[in-house]
């Protein structure tokens, strides 16, 4: 675990906060949809307890992820998943992605919806945070606690920035690729000779991961846009009833 006074600790904290912002944008949508049917006086309670439950569950998931990533080959698997998560971040999204989130008519139903939906959607976040934390649960907890108000109250601003400045999404995806590259190198099954034979191996692997995510994500995104445009054109000609 990095010392709290070291730059490595604070860099990791900033990475975890950035990950939570980039991958936690959907949380604001889920919270809004889950609480939309509540009476106005209960919405604030639904948001508060739903977020507390979701964050608690995520900490438990990350704790187990940290334990599993200590096993040989699992960091390699985690790094490959993280590369794909970064690539997916650069792909166009469908407008109806959150159409299956039902709003609860009671406070407990809304809280349950938020926690369950967050658990289902949190695999990418859990893997990314576990990779950025250097095995430290203190780092994970600190980073997530700091990011809670940013995710809950600032996600709308972040989503607006993403829409207006696509470079923000690209930088976020590159960060995930950077973490994946570093995670790959630190797997217990990785021969020490690999790191020894490559000058600045950690930076080289991390930069390669970041570059790979951006190049593949942009390439797949450029291919998907024409296909999506044709699909929308077909739907406008033959609307569904």
CA-to-CA distance for 158 and 37, rounded, in angstroms?
Answer: 25
Tokens, residue 16: 């975890």
79-106 pLDDT per residue, tens = 888 888 888 878 876 544 444 555 556 7
The answer to whether the CB of 13 falls within 8 A of the CB of 144 is no
Residue 214 has pLDDT above 90, yes or no: yes
Nearest CA-CA partner of 122 in 19, 194, 10, 230: 19
Angle at 53 between CA 48 and CA 59, to 5 degrees: 125
pTM of the model: 0.65
Q: Give 220 or 147, the one with higher predicted confidence.
A: 220
Closest CA to 79 of 8, 215, 177: 177
* Mean of pLDDT values over 137-166: 69
Between residues 119 and 210, which one has the greater pLDDT? 210
pLDDT computed for residue 216 by the predictor: 94
State both tokens at 156.
């709308």
Question: Which 8-state DSSP code applies to residue 5?
Answer: T
- Separation of alpha carbons 58 and 42, rounded Å: 24
Rounded Cα distance, 133 and 88, in Å: 22
Average the pLDDT over 184-196 and give the result. Answer: 85
Return the pLDDT at 223: 81
Cα–Cα distances in angstroms (integers) from residue 114 to residues 24, 36, 40, 49, 240, in the given order: 13, 12, 17, 9, 30
Percent of the chain with pLDDT over 70: 69
Nearest to 212 by CA among 193, 184, 190: 184
Q: What rounded mean pLDDT belongs to the chain?
A: 76
- Closest among 63, 48, 67, 90 to 220, alpha carbons compared: 90
pLDDT at 95: 46
Strands in the chain per DSSP E: none
94 token code pair: 């469908």
Q: What pLDDT does residue 96 have?
A: 47
d(CA 176, CA 170): 10
pLDDT at position 178 over 70: yes
Burial letters 22-46, b for 16+ CB under 10 A, else e: bbbbbbbbbbebbbebbeeeebeeb
Q: Is the pLDDT of residue 47 over 90?
A: no
d(CA 150, CA 128): 18
* For residue 66, pLDDT beyond 60: yes
- How many helices (H) and strands (E) the chain has is answered by 10, 0
Most confident by average pLDDT, 93-97, 100-104, 221-225, 236-240: 221-225
Q: Find the mean pLDDT for residues 28-43.
A: 71
The whole-number pLDDT of residue 26 equals 60
How do residues 107-144 score in pLDDT, each as one tens digit?
Answer: 788 777 777 766 666 666 777 787 888 778 888 777 77
CA pair distance 122, 61, nearest whole angstrom: 9
> In which band, very low, low, confident or very high, does the pLDDT at 240 lie, cut at 50, 70 and 90?
low
Q: What is the pLDDT of residue 126?
A: 77
Given pLDDT bands bounded at 50, 70 and 90, which one contains residue 208? very high
Residue 188 pLDDT > 80, yes or no?
yes
List the one residue out of 88, 54, 97, 93 whose CA is nearest residue 176: 88
Q: What is the pLDDT of residue 106?
A: 78
């Amino acid at each position: 675990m990095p010392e709290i006074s070291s730059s490595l600790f604070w860099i990791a904290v900033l990475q975890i906060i950035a990950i939570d912002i980039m991958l936690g944008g959907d949380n604001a949508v889920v919270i809004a949809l889950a609480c939309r049917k509540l009476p106005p006086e209960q919405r604030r309670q639904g948001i508060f307890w739903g977020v507390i439950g979701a964050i608690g569950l995520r900490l438990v998931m990350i704790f187990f992820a940290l334990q599993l990533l200590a096993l040989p080959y699992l960091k390699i698997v985690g790094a490959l998943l993280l590369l794909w998560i970064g690539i997916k971040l650069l792909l166009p999204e469908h407008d109806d992605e959150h159409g299956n989130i039902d709003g609860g008519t009671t406070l407990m139903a809304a809280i349950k919806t938020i926690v369950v939906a967050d658990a289902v959607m949190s695999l990418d976040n859990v893997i990314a945070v576990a990779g950025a934390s250097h095995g430290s649960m203190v780092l994970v907890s600190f980073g997530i606690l700091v990011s809670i108000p940013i995710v809950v109250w600032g996600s709308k601003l972040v989503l607006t920035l993403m829409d207006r400045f696509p470079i923000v999404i690209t930088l976020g995806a590159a960060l995930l690729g950077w973490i994946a590259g570093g995670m790959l190198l630190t797997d217990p099954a990785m021969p020490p000779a690999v790191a020894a034979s490559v000058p600045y191996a950690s930076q080289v692997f991390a930069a390669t991961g970041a570059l790979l995510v951006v190049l593949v994500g942009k390439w797949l995104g450029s291919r998907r846009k024409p296909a999506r445009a044709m699909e929308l054109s077909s739907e406008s000609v033959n609307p569904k009833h």
